[in-house]
Amino acid sequence: MVNFRFPLLLYLYFPIILGWLIWRFRYSRSRPLMEGVSPALQANLMNRIALNSMRWRRIAAFLGLLLLLLAASGPQIGTRLTPVERKGVDLVFALDVSESMNARDVKPSRLEKAKFEISQMIRDLAGDRVGLIVFAGSSNLYLPLTSDYEAAQLFLDAIDTDMIPNQGTDLGTALRTAINAFPEESEQYKVLILVSDGEDHQGVAVRLADNAAKTGIRIHTVGLGTTTGSLIPVVKSSGDTEEYKRDSQGRLVTSILNQDILQEIANAGRGIFVRFENRLASYREVLAEINSMEKRTIETHQYSQFEDRFQAFAVLALVMLVLAQVIPTRRSSDDTWRGRMV
């Protein structure tokens, strides 16, 4: 792959080549300088001039100019993979995408608030690897552990409540997926942040959190919502709210934050429980816990910038320009014109 540091300089090729074509056209149509002069006189006058050498000098000067312009444009060729060492932890976010996360007791909604706070947390990470899990009635590893924070932000932005067709909130399945998402070679430096409104419909999450903590996974929980609860809007594909969710008897469903279950999971996972409320920087308490942990050295690889390759073109340009000056234009023959016509 080829890149140029100063690509605008390449546009100078157009006037240079155009000027050369115009010169060639006018030269081909011009009358010879010695038209009408006898061949004998032409031979005597041009006896000491090497016409081919003069032609090669012009070619060398022209090529030198083109190569010098190419070198000045800063060609950069290819990329190289370089090792990068960072100190950090493996951090996995398990984000609840059940329909109850559309509730708006936290503005603009529980899910959007969670995505915003997670985004702020990823932005402040330095050296940690990050992964994403989405769950409702089932769970999926949405983004494996990566140190590419820009990619993580893009994946996070695309999350919505339509990603998991199997609705409900199964915290246990999120924990199982998270445990499998961490590499087995390290028994520490693993952090899981479980983000949910806590409406667990299965009830095995606390036992799984305790088992995960024994394998070295630190589990923090984040609650979204209020204890008074909120109705669950049914959001259409256009983004408008048509109505609110109802149960099988036609009664409106109110979603309430289950703070107790999230607190129990955090205690079992040797972590902390916080709430993302209608205030700024709710994530800082969790981030402070992560930063207080001992960090391990994580070796990754990344593509470095393009390598500058102007040197070769600059050397070739110098060679051409020197040749244009040193190529002899006088013949080595000893024959000279002695002022007589033969």
Q: What is the pLDDT of residue 19?
A: 84
- Could you tell me if 204 and 90 lie in one domain? yes
Confidence of residue 37 (pLDDT cuts 50, 70, 90): low
Q: Indicate whether 240 pLDDT > 80.
A: no
- Could you tell me if 136 and 96 lie in one domain? yes
Q: Which is more confidently placed, 41 or 259? A: 259
Q: Indicate whether 314 pLDDT > 80.
A: yes
- Could you tell me if 102 and 241 lie in one domain? yes
From 117-121, 165-169, 197-201, the region with the lowest mean pLDDT: 197-201
Q: Which is more confidently placed, 44 or 76? A: 76
| Domain total in the chain | 2
From 111-115, 216-220, 298-302, the region with the lowest mean pLDDT: 298-302
Confidence of residue 202 (pLDDT cuts 50, 70, 90): low
In a domain, 90, yes or no: yes
- Could you tell me if 251 and 139 lie in one domain? yes
Tokens representing 336? 């000279």
Q: What is the pLDDT of residue 342?
A: 47
- Could you tell me if 312 and 240 lie in one domain? no
Strands (E), the chain: 2-4, 75-77, 81-88, 90-96, 129-135, 139-146, 190-196, 217-224, 230-231, 233-235, 241-244, 254-255, 273-276, 296-303, 307-308
Q: What is the pLDDT of residue 69?
A: 86
From 4-13, 109-118, 208-217, the region with the lowest mean pLDDT: 4-13
- Could you tell me if 288 and 191 lie in one domain? yes
149-157 and 110-123 helices cross at what angle (nearest 10)?
A: 170
Interval 263-305: pLDDT, tens: 999 999 999 999 988 877 778 888 888 888 877 666 665 555 5
* Rounded-to-integer distance, Cα 169 and Cα 96, Å: 7
CATH number of the domain at 213, please: 3.40.50.410
Q: Confirm if 62 and 323 have CB atoms less than 8 A apart.
A: no
Write the single-letter amino acid at 129: R
pTM recorded for the entire structure:
0.63
What mean pLDDT, rounded, does the chain reach?
A: 81
- Could you tell me if 74 and 123 lie in one domain? no
Q: Which is more confidently placed, 146 or 32? A: 146
Tokens representing 12? 């100078």
- Could you tell me if 26 and 92 lie in one domain? no
Q: What is the pLDDT of residue 192?
A: 94
- Could you tell me if 17 and 128 lie in one domain? no
- Could you tell me if 289 and 319 lie in one domain? no
- Could you tell me if 32 and 173 lie in one domain? no
Domain around 316: 2-78+306-326
In a domain, 337, yes or no: no
Q: What is the pLDDT of residue 63?
A: 87
Q: What is the pLDDT of residue 301?
A: 57
Average pLDDT estimate for 96-110 = 91
Interval 117-160: pLDDT, tens: 999 999 998 878 899 999 998 899 999 999 889 999 999 999 99
Q: Indicate whether 331 pLDDT > 70.
A: no
Q: What is the pLDDT of residue 293?
A: 80
For residue 193, give every residue at least 6 positions away whose Cβ sits within 8 Å of its Cβ, in sequence order, or none. Answer: 91, 92, 93, 94, 118, 219, 220, 221, 222, 286
- Could you tell me if 177 and 282 lie in one domain? yes
In a domain, 335, yes or no: no
In a domain, 48, yes or no: yes
**pLDDT over 90, % of the chain:** 26
Confidence of residue 93 (pLDDT cuts 50, 70, 90): very high
Q: Indicate whether 95 pLDDT > 80.
A: yes
Average pLDDT estimate for 46-75 = 80
* Rounded-to-integer distance, Cα 255 and Cα 201, Å: 13
Average pLDDT estimate for 327-334 = 66
Confidence of residue 184 (pLDDT cuts 50, 70, 90): confident
Q: Indicate whether 76 pLDDT > 80.
A: no
In a domain, 336, yes or no: no
